[in-house]
Amino acid sequence: MIGIRIALAGNPNVGKTTLFNALTGSRQHVGNWPGVTVEKKTGRINRNGHTIEVIDLPGTYSLTAYSADEVVARDYILEEKPDVVVQVVDATHLERNLYLTTQITELEVPVVIALNMVDEAEATGCTIDRERLSSLLEIPVVRTVGTRGEGLDDLLDAAVREAKTSPHHEHIVGYGNEIEAMIASLVGVLAADKDLGDRYPLRWLAARLLEGDENALAKVKESPVSSRVQDILSGTDLDEYEAAMADRRYDVIAAVLPQVRTAGARSMNVSEMIDRVVTDRYLGIPIFLALMWGAFELTFVVAAPFVALIEAGLAWLSAAVAGWLGPAWLASLVGDGIIGGVGSVLVFVPNIFILFLFLSFLEDTGYLARAAFIMDRLMYAIGLPGKAFIPMLIGFGCNVPGIMAARTIEGEKDRLITILVNPFISCSARLPVYILFAGAFFGAAAGAVVFFLYVLGISTAIGSAKLFRHTILPGESSPFIMEMPPYRLPTVGTSLLHTWSRGAMYVRKAGTIILAGALVVWCLASFPFGVEYGSSESLAGSLGRLLEPLVAPLGFDWKIAVALLFGLVAKEVVVGSLGVLYGTGEEGDALSTALLADPGLSAATALALMVFVLLYAPCLATIATIRKEAGSWRWAGFSVAYGLVLAWTLSLIVGRIAPFFLGGA
């Protein structure tokens, strides 16, 4: 049982995660845009008596990391020293991909190249001589097609072989006499520090120092040889070295490529055709909005009959339960607590699944990257890079991955702003609240109301970003640089798999957090013994009365106060709690009927409530993610406070203005 650790590294969007999933049987997130994976993921396989640990890393263009996700990849390769690095290479972009190869080989770790996406290269008529490439680089090159699981065995064999061979040898770029002399003198100085020599290959470190790499400079800062290193470096123009060394790497690549690749004929292809239109200066944004509306229509209209079916089923169930279960308290626990609480959330599963289907379509086709490009002009006006739009779109599913996606943004302040505004993007957990209240109070106009809420969320995010940029996080945004992946037609299988794996999370949440929340609220509504269920004398009532003054100006009563409080755990719990507190009747749409019948609730209050739920503090999972990604509780606390103040103010305004438009309804 020898353990071998294989790290999958490479440029973004070359298929690392696809290969990882195929190798380990995992279901990590795959998408057709650069920056999907932002954290390292580990999987295990057993093979011929070896335990092989495979690590999927975020994509990186070079080992001089610029963004948070790239740092993760670089640090892993550098500090954790995997036994072998498998560099996944996109066969349609050899040039850019081999640049990273020239850097990885300097690390003196065994390397294997997985020549991936060979299918796409071949489709353009391009052929690559793998043997020649392998002998030129002195690295094994294995042909793979991640999406079809081709070449996995060969890849593992090569990786294991490489990991066990020592000493291994790879072609390393020579930088020419002058630079090599500098490197040699730096290595001479660095060698005096044993500790440093044990941790890093000295030639590599010396080369990085010459390039002025901040990270490398930090590594020698603590070392006793630091001052002598500084002496050598101070007399040199590091920028010039950096450029010269990059040139040398490209020279080597340029020398290799013609020997291994025969290019196919190239004409304007489908990707470029579509891009000509969808990224058009004038038509780009309207097309984007039209697609969003289409998705919206699907999410609501198409899901509606399925929602109705589930509602009918649950109504039948709660009626049946009321008949079967003997003691009244048990019937109430199951009927009001579980079916009322969890059921009212599960009802919206069809909407959630369609929303996720659309989001996975957006990601898998490659349109997501175009959306960011189209929005760049708008984002630039706010002072954020266009890339910051991607975390927003991801946030429509859930704010947690949305905030994580901000790792791909280079500037630290840009990243912070992107993180802080993400909670205002209306995630799927808020959908049930809208559908419930808009459906109950706005009838035919429900769709328009929900659309308004989404737009309000985006506007708040954009407005807040502008505010932060001009106050607490001033700065200039960086220009838009993002690779446009080719459009890929997602297969029905992968789309459904993506939708399922994320939709299942919603269902699982209903069975865990929301169930727990519903049970707590049910207990609060039932105790102390003898009180009428859900009355203001119950514990829930007392708690609600305590909070009521805070939200009374917004027109919310104690039941809503309790629901909002528990909704901090997860926003669906707002609906779950109301389901418990209002109890379930015998009819199908009991909760919406009960809400309509409540004299304390008007259309204007419902609207104010939806605005409040949209904007008020992020859920616990999101707060924890903000703390982790922003690096301090201060930002998490700020996010909660800012959200609460904003929600309170805007709900107040909406609640006051709405009656004029709704004809005093």
Ligand X SMILES: Nc1nc2c(ncn2[C@@H]2O[C@H](COP(=O)(O)OP(=O)(O)OP(=O)(O)O)[C@@H](O)[C@H]2O)c(=O)[nH]1
Residues near Mg ion (CB under 5 A) are: 16-17, 36-37
- The C-alpha atoms of residue 434 and residue 426 are separated, in whole angstroms, by 10
Helix axes 572-582, 431-442, angle to 10 degrees: 50
Binding site for other proteins (CB under 8 A): 92-93, 120, 123-125, 266-280, 283, 286-287, 289-290, 293-294, 297-298, 301-305, 308-309, 312, 373, 376-377, 386, 451, 479-488
Least distance (Å) between residue 119 CB and ligand X: 5
Establish if 146 lies at the interface with ligand X (CB under 6 A): yes
Residue located via tokens 């505010």: 467
Question: Which residue lies nearer to Mg ion by CB, 37 or 495?
Answer: 37
Least distance (Å) between residue 124 CB and other proteins: 4
Least distance (Å) between residue 634 CB and other proteins: 33
Are 25 and 34 contacting, i.e. CB atoms less than 8 angstroms apart?
no
**Read out DSSP for 32-43?**
SSTT---S-EEE
Residue 80 interaction partner, one of Mg ion, ligand X, other proteins, none, beta carbon < 5-8 Å per kind: none
Are 471 and 262 contacting, i.e. CB atoms less than 8 angstroms apart?
no
Residue 281 interaction partner, one of Mg ion, ligand X, other proteins, none, beta carbon < 5-8 Å per kind: none
Residue 31 interaction partner, one of Mg ion, other proteins, ligand X, none, beta carbon < 5-8 Å per kind: ligand X
Least distance (Å) between residue 133 CB and Mg ion: 24
- Positions 32 through 91 that interact with ligand X (CB under 6 A): 32, 34-37, 58-59
Candidates 27-35, 254-262, 326-334, 531-539; binding stretch for ligand X (CB under 6 A): 27-35
For β-strands 50-56 and 41-47, DSSP reports them as: antiparallel
**Read out DSSP for 435-466?**
HHHHHHHHGGGHHHHHHHHHHHHHHHHHHHHH
Residue 377 interaction partner, one of Mg ion, ligand X, other proteins, none, beta carbon < 5-8 Å per kind: other proteins
Establish if 622 lies at the interface with ligand X (CB under 6 A): no
623: part of which helix (H) or strand (E)? helix 620-630
Over the window 440 to 479, marking each residue x when it contacts ligand X by CB under 6 A and - when it does not, the resulting string is: ----------------------------------------
- The C-alpha atoms of residue 469 and residue 477 are separated, in whole angstroms, by 9
Establish if 16 lies at the interface with ligand X (CB under 6 A): yes
Least distance (Å) between residue 20 CB and ligand X: 7
Question: Which residue lies nearer to other proteins by CB, 269 or 649?
Answer: 269
Question: Which residue lies nearer to other proteins by CB, 323 or 479?
Answer: 479
Residue located via tokens 């049930």: 432
Over the window 480 to 519, marking each residue x when it contacts ligand X by CB under 6 A and - when it does not, the resulting string is: --------x-------------------------------
Least distance (Å) between residue 448 CB and other proteins: 8
Contact residue for ligand X among 87, 97, 105, 116 (CB under 6 A): 116
Beta-carbon contacts of 97 under 8 Å, excluding residues fewer than 6 positions away, are 10, 11, 14, 87, 89, 90
Contact residue for ligand X among 6, 7, 17, 609 (CB under 6 A): 17
Contact residue for ligand X among 4, 14, 393, 446 (CB under 6 A): 14
The conformation of residue 90, written as its DSSP 8-state character, comes to E
Contact residue for ligand X among 7, 23, 31, 457 (CB under 6 A): 31
Residues shown for the chain: 665
Question: Which residue lies nearer to other proteins by CB, 117 or 210?
Answer: 117
Q: Which residues pair with 143 in a beta bridge?
A: 115
Candidates 140-148, 159-167, 371-379, 447-455; binding stretch for ligand X (CB under 6 A): 140-148
Order the strands of the 111-116 sheet from edge to edge: 41-47, 50-56, 3-10, 84-90, 111-116, 141-143
φ, ψ of residue 657 to 5 degrees: the values are -80, -40
What is the residue type of 123?
A
Contact residue for ligand X among 55, 94, 111, 117 (CB under 6 A): 117
Q: How many residues bind ligand X (CB under 6 A)?
A: 25
Angle at alpha carbon of residue 102, lines to 214 and 257, rounded to 5°: 140
Question: Which residue lies nearer to other proteins by CB, 124 or 226?
Answer: 124
Contact residue for ligand X among 53, 75, 119, 483 (CB under 6 A): 119
Candidates 31-39, 496-504, 511-519, 535-543; binding stretch for ligand X (CB under 6 A): 31-39
Least distance (Å) between residue 484 CB and other proteins: 5
- The C-alpha atoms of residue 481 and residue 483 are separated, in whole angstroms, by 7
Are 54 and 24 contacting, i.e. CB atoms less than 8 angstroms apart?
yes
Question: Which residue lies nearer to ligand X by CB, 84 or 183?
Answer: 84
- The C-alpha atoms of residue 19 and residue 116 are separated, in whole angstroms, by 9
Are 524 and 540 contacting, i.e. CB atoms less than 8 angstroms apart?
yes
> In this structure, how many other beta carbons lie within 10 angstroms of the beta carbon of residue 192?
12
Are 73 and 36 contacting, i.e. CB atoms less than 8 angstroms apart?
no
- The C-alpha atoms of residue 606 and residue 437 are separated, in whole angstroms, by 6
Binding interface with ligand X (CB under 6 A): 12-18, 30-32, 34-37, 58-59, 116-117, 119-120, 145-147, 364, 488
